[in-house]
Every structure is written in C-alpha cells, then in structure tokens.
Amino acid sequence: MSRSSKEMIVGTRGSGLATAQTKLVASAVGQQHPGVHVDLRILKTEGDVRGGAFGPGDRGVFVHAIEQALLDGEIDFAVHSLKDLPSGETAGLVIAAVPRREDPRDALISRWDDGFEGLGEQASVGTGSPRRRGQLLLARPDLRIQPLRGNIDTRAGRVADGDLDAVVLAVAGLVRLGLPYAWHAIDPKVCLPAVGQGALALQARADDRTTIERLSVLEDPSTRFQVRAERAFLEELGGGCMAPATAWAREDSGKLRIDAMVAAIDGEHRFLESCVCDPQEGPDEARRLAQRLNDRGAQHWIELARQSPQPDAGSS
C-alpha cells in the first residue's frame, strides 16, 4: 500500500476502550513527531464476532485479525492491550514499544459504593475471569460469582441496573475511558492483577525500521521489564490468559519484585511464589516461579478451569 512518509495507519478493535487508548497513542506519536499524521483503522477480530464464552485455550482471539492486517501492510502499527497478546511473539512482528503502564490493579464497582471489604453478605459479583473468580472466592467464600460479558460500559451498567451487586473490572480501562462510575481498587494482596494488565503493546513489522523508530520514543523501560517477566511466567506455565494464574512484577528499590500465583476457581486454594531480582533477570526468575508452581500442582487447577470456561469478552 502506497502512502506518504508522513502518514501512518494504526489498527485497532472497534470497542470503546480499544479506540480510546489507540487515540491516546496516536496523539502521543503526533506530539513526538510533528508533521506525522496518524489515521485509525477499525478492524473486527474473532473475539468481536464471537462476543464471549471464551475458554483458557482461546488465546489471541482479539489480535489475530489485526496482526494479519499488519503483516499484509494494510496498517503500519497496532495498539493492543498487552494482556490480550499471546505470550509468544508472532513471526515477522515485534513489540516496538511498551508505553508507561497505567494502574494494573482490579477495580470494584458496587451498589454499596464501597471497596471489596464493604461488600454485603452473599453479594452477587460479576466477572468472567477465572483468575479473579478464584482469588475473590478465597477471600470471601460467601460471594456469588456471576458470569459477565460485554464492553466495559455494559458491564459496569449492570450494577446501576440492579442486575448485580458488584462487578470487577480493570482500573486501567476505567481510567482511560473516564466513565462516570464510582470505583475502588482491590488490594493486590486480595487479587493479583492479570499478566500485562494496564500496559499497552505497540506492534509493528520487524522490518519496518521507520515505524519502529517513531514508536520507540514512547517506550518505558521499567514497564517493559515488568511485562517481559510477567509474560515469561505465563508462557512457562501455559494455559493462556484465561488460566486462573498470574504474575505481577513491579519496581522495588531498584529491583524487580515478582509475585506469582495459581488458584482453584472455586476459591479453595491459592498457591503463591515470589522473588526479588535484577530487572534484566526478570524473565528467567519468572520462569522459575512458574516451575515452582507447577511442582505444586498448578496444571491440575488450570485443567479444571479449562473444563469450566467462563464468558469474558474484551480487555477490562
């Protein structure tokens, strides 16, 4: 496809969150490179067509169509919620930049307008994430976890409509969309965030040096260290982004602290492993955490979750 050297096309899903965060990136590229114009192209993915009911094996349902458009030269780069990306790299493509991460925690919107500790007895809580389900039930076995699907506004609106007492979403999505809902972040000690949650991945063709150079100014090295470690954990553990497992990495006095866990989706068990290491050693150390969890039976809990897929549609 022929276009001016001052024109770029960015591909994105058509959801409110996807377009909002892509517009933020397009604006940042324009600010860093005056005269470069970035056009948005909306692409429909398998995840958008199916609309939900995804299981642990459904990796990359929100990215394959976008990656193909990138490989075909229809777009110059793509903006993904990093937690939607399968942990392995796609041949011919690279993550050209990882911008500074938004708050990675989960958030609770509830009819009590209070945090997790303020949930009423046997409250109905909506989430389609096995990771969230297992951890929330561990903390509060009385909760009634209900399937949740739809875009962020639809999910959040189920509390206002009285369908649910509360829903759990990602803080990052709520912040980027600026939705008018009162929410409270959930302590990671209660619910460790998803791998890559709050982070974006700017993906380009491996041989497109111009685009890679333009995007590189948005790179945040600290966030890159964090998500490299988290993704290495998930790749070693297996199970994909819908497994009831996660690793959360963050800076700690110049070091990288990684907390990893696998949970039973019924809330009966949660196994934790942690380490502190140099940031460059994050991926190797994260893989060791995954191996330690596998030694403690992680694959059993992942398989149980695979047999009971929960509907979940989109990055939220």
pLDDT by residue (tens digit) across 21-73?
A: 999 999 999 999 999 999 999 997 665 554 554 444 444 566 888 999 999 99
Q: What is the pLDDT of residue 313?
A: 42
Which residue among the candidates 48, 76, 84, 208 is catalytic per the annotation? 84
Cβ atoms within 10 Å, residue 32? 13
Q: What is the mean pLDDT of the segment spanning 95-110?
A: 97
The CA distance from 123 to 132, in Å, is 15
Q: Provide CATH code, domain 231-307.
A: 3.30.160.40
User: Would you list the domain boundaries of the chain?
Assistant: 7-99+199-219, 106-185, 231-307
Cβ atoms within 10 Å, residue 77? 26
Fold of 106-185: D-Maltodextrin-Binding Protein; domain 2 (3.40.190)
First-last CA distance in the chain:
33
Domain 7-99+199-219 -> CATH class:
alpha beta
Same CATH fold, 106-185 and 7-99+199-219? Answer: yes
Alpha-carbon distance values, 302 to 22, 72, 263 (Å): 32, 35, 8
Cβ atoms within 10 Å, residue 145? 24
Q: Using one digit for the tens of pLDDT, what is the confidence trace for 305-316?
A: 888 755 444 456
Q: What is the pLDDT of residue 314?
A: 46
* 187 catalytic per annotation: no
Q: Using one digit for the tens of pLDDT, what is the confidence trace for 212-239?
A: 999 999 999 999 999 999 999 999 998 7
Reference 153, options 29, 273, 314; nearest CA is: 314
Contact 65/190 with Cβ under 8 angstroms?
no
Ranges 198-202, 207-211, 238-242, 266-270: which has the least confidence: 238-242
Beta strands in the chain (DSSP E): 7-12, 37-42, 77-81, 93-97, 106-110, 124-126, 144-146, 166-170, 184-185, 200-205, 245-252, 255-263, 270-277
